Amino acid sequence: MKIANVSVATINHILPVPIIYGNWIMDHREFALVRVDLEDGTAGFAYGLTRDGPISAIVHRSIAPCYVGRELTDPSDLFYGALWTNHAVHAAGIGMRALSLVDIACWDAFARITNKSFQALLGGELCDLPATAIVGYPPTMQPEELAGQIKDLQKRGWNRFKIPISPDLELSESRLRAAREAAPTDWVGFDINMVLRTSEAVLDFEKRIRDLKLGWIEDVVPPGDAGMVARVRAGSKTPVAMGDEQGGSYHPEALLTAGAVDVIRVDATTNGGVTGLKKSLERARNAQVKVSPHMFPHLHSRLLPIFGFKDVPIEWGIPGTGVHPMDDGLEQPVIENGMMKPLTTTVGLGKLVDYEWITAQQVTDQLGALEQIPRACLK
């Protein structure tokens, strides 16, 4: 079956409270919804954060021409065909992000045209997985409220909690101490969100919170210097996690080769889609480094077990907090003793499009990605 069209809708969700990470101030979350249409009307979908990059323009200008009119017999062949067409754009950064989403949508369309679930299409089985609640949003949330949020989630079976850095380190430390007091034996992780700029700054703060015995410190410095990350790991008593949203030519090789991480972070929406994720996971396995996926639970909780990673934690934003609003209206996890049950087995990625929520946001959809969506894709 040939690919008839590739289109993108851009969805902008205004946050009720801005998120401040150093110089990075977010007053919105913007997503790209990619659609791949086959000649018979079958459609596959994927979505990811744009990070304000021109996902739609790149897809329309340099990626879609590599797909439209081609036979969809192996999405990986199409992925590499597009990748090798434009190394300067597609190999890293926002171009790789755009290509990753097209690849995921192609795999979704391929599963739907063959009437298969991802596990049937790719091999492997789903299983219970650890679940991490991303708490403490907005990052200005006070320690007492954060502790209350954690206690409420504990009553519902959660026992893993990840907390983002706040606008200042004093509040960050207070929030982490409140979280540890509320969850003395649970896993608690800290996301620095690349706010700190040097290994020395990270290690100074790590010493202040070392007694909390956190599960990890994540995204410790800006990307681009694996040696700096390695210096953090060498001086830290807290495990170091790094790598999500850094998809490109040298992910994850640079971090793995430098011995920079205890946990390599992966994200199919930025690391090369389904095709690229499989390759990244193989490299992590060969390096004997633990893996953890970034967000997108409806995708990663299906893919990681299929590829043989059956104990990785899956991240979930708390609905209504602005962490990842495209997920909020979709299927939510069933949690028992910190483990999430497998999501409903579906053809492809199932009901991935929350049309009612999407159309209530600021939407740009020049090529009709939201028109006549097949019922099987609609929430």
The class (CATH top level) of 3-116+349-377 is alpha beta
Question: What integer is the mean pLDDT of 190-215?
Answer: 97
The alpha carbon torsion through 190, 260, 22, 327 (nearest 10 deg) reads -60
Question: CA–CA separation, 327 vs 110, rounded Å?
Answer: 23
In this structure, are residues 139 and 165 in contact, taking their beta carbons and an 8 Å threshold?
A: yes
- Of 45-54, 240-249, 297-306, the one with minimum mean pLDDT is 240-249
Helices (H) and strands (E) in the chain, counts: 15, 14
% the chain with pLDDT above 90: 94
Residue among 97, 84, 35 at smallest CA distance from 272: 97
Question: What integer is the mean pLDDT of 358-378?
Answer: 96
Question: What integer is the mean pLDDT of 145-157?
Answer: 98
Q: In whole numbers, what is the pLDDT of the chain averaged over residues?
A: 96
Residues in the chain, how many?
379
Neighbours of 29 (CB within 10 A): 20
Question: CA–CA separation, 9 vs 31, rounded Å?
Answer: 8
3-state helix, strand, coil in the chain (%, to 5): 40, 25, 40
Pairing of strands 216-218, 187-191: parallel
Question: CA–CA separation, 221 vs 226, rounded Å?
Answer: 10
Q: What is the pLDDT of residue 26?
A: 86
pTM over the 0.95 mark = yes
CATH number of 120-340: 3.20.20.120
pLDDT in tens, 205-240: 999 999 999 999 999 999 889 999 999 999 999 999
pLDDT in tens, 37-92: 999 999 999 999 999 999 999 999 999 999 999 999 999 999 999 999 999 999 99
Structure-block tokens of residue 251: 């992910």
Residue 185, pLDDT > 90, answer yes
Domain residue ranges of the chain, discontinuous segments joined by +: 3-116+349-377, 120-340
Residue among 230, 229, 207, 208 at smallest CA distance from 220: 229
Q: What is the pLDDT of residue 355?
A: 97
Q: Would the CATH topology of 3-116+349-377 be identical to that of 120-340?
A: no
Instruction: Band the pLDDT of 375: cuts 50, 70, 90.
Output: very high
Q: What is the pLDDT of residue 16?
A: 87
Residue 308, pLDDT > 80, answer yes
Residue 261, pLDDT > 80, answer yes
